[in-house]
Structure 1
């Protein structure tokens, strides 16, 4: 039968294992920073980086972009399409018509992110839709983003790790109580 010290060490190591693996999985952070960098031939271009370290988001991203014109016309949501050769850069298959637009980019996976920006699409810059994978550097600049939202779940990895540690400590306490009740004579 294992002694108390080995049981306590095993419980502590189990808790640290779960806390350590949770923190490692989210080394970049748990929020995506989005920046609408411009519009290329009518296609909005968005850059996604990790909020904590600024590295490009290289994982698959589930994101959308919506746009509202000055007269209230709304288009989208349009899905993000990765730009080939530019990690963390996305565009849309759809192009905006000429005009002044308020652009809202949002991600749901692998983490939450949100940005709002203004863009002016000139009539001469709207061209037939290029292949989404070949979108070049933006031709019309957009204003910097004004909102990044970490949203709910910003502390989820730490909460999960803490929960596992609490369960491990509770399990150890129950184990010790049962063991003591067996050792005491009746």
Structure 2
């Protein structure tokens, strides 16, 4: 059983070896590689059979190299992958060229030999209008009216106001009454009477002294 499987595989391989030359002979011996430019930095190419212009159905083994125009930078080697936007003959790169001018070369080794090159310019992509630093701007917000600030009050003013509110209202001085007036009159008359009595006593004493002197002298 194993021998039969091995023989079948060998026969199939030999058949493919005979078919490949016939396929290559039908399309030709070389590939036509045209570098069409770039799309968003991805190198784009078209690969066809040079003999009949048919698209390549097989997988393509190719390398892509890029050199800056001034020769200071090199990129690659990259591989080509199918370009769904340009099928069936379109091929592109998964990698992206940075902005600048590049000399791009593509070398194909399978299923046949092919070469293509082109100077490709990748422009600098400006940010979309209305964006700054990668974030959209919708304009400055409308100003919000702020409530007026209360008038400042000093600590001393607040303390004086609180002290005034805490103090009881002052009452007016009481008016003089009739009893107090009468008492003042009585005191005045008493003082006057004492003074009159004193004067009278002094006069009487003076008269008595004069009489005694007259008696002694007479």
How does the TM-score come out when normalised to structure 1? 0.53
116-125 vs 44-53, greater mean Cα deviation: 116-125
Deviations for 1:78-120, whole angstroms, at most 9, x for unmatched residues? Answer: 0001112601211111100011110001111000100111111
Alignment of 1:54-133 (within 5 A): 54-72=53-71, 73-84=73-84, 86-124=87-125
Unaligned residue ranges in structure 2 (runs of 5+): 1-16, 127-218
Unaligned residue ranges in structure 1 (runs of 5+): 1-17, 126-186
How does the TM-score come out when normalised to structure 2? 0.46
Query: How far apart are 1:71 and its partner, in Å?
Result: 2.3
Query: How far apart are 1:23 and its partner, in Å?
Result: 3.6
What count of residue pairs does the alignment treat as equivalent? 108
Q: Choose between structure 1 and 2 for higher RCO, CA contacts under 8 A separated by at least 6 residues.
A: 1
Structure 1 residue ranges, 4+ long, deviating more than 4 angstroms after superposition: 18-21
Q: Superposition RMSD on alpha carbons, in Å?
A: 2.2
Query: How far apart are 1:55 and its partner, in Å?
Result: 1.0
| Counterpart-to-counterpart distance in 1, 2:64 and 2:19 | 35
Please give the secondary structure, in 2, of the residue aligned with 1:27. Answer: helix
| Residues 23 and 120 of structure 1: CA distance in aligned 2, closer, same or farther (over 3 Å) | same
| Counterpart-to-counterpart distance in 2, 1:61 and 1:21 | 15
Deviations for 1:12-61, whole angstroms, at most 9, x for unmatched residues? Answer: xxxxxx99983444311110100011100000001001010111112110
Match of 2:34 in 1: 35
Higher helix share: 2
| Residues 38 and 27 of structure 1: CA distance in aligned 2, closer, same or farther (over 3 Å) | same
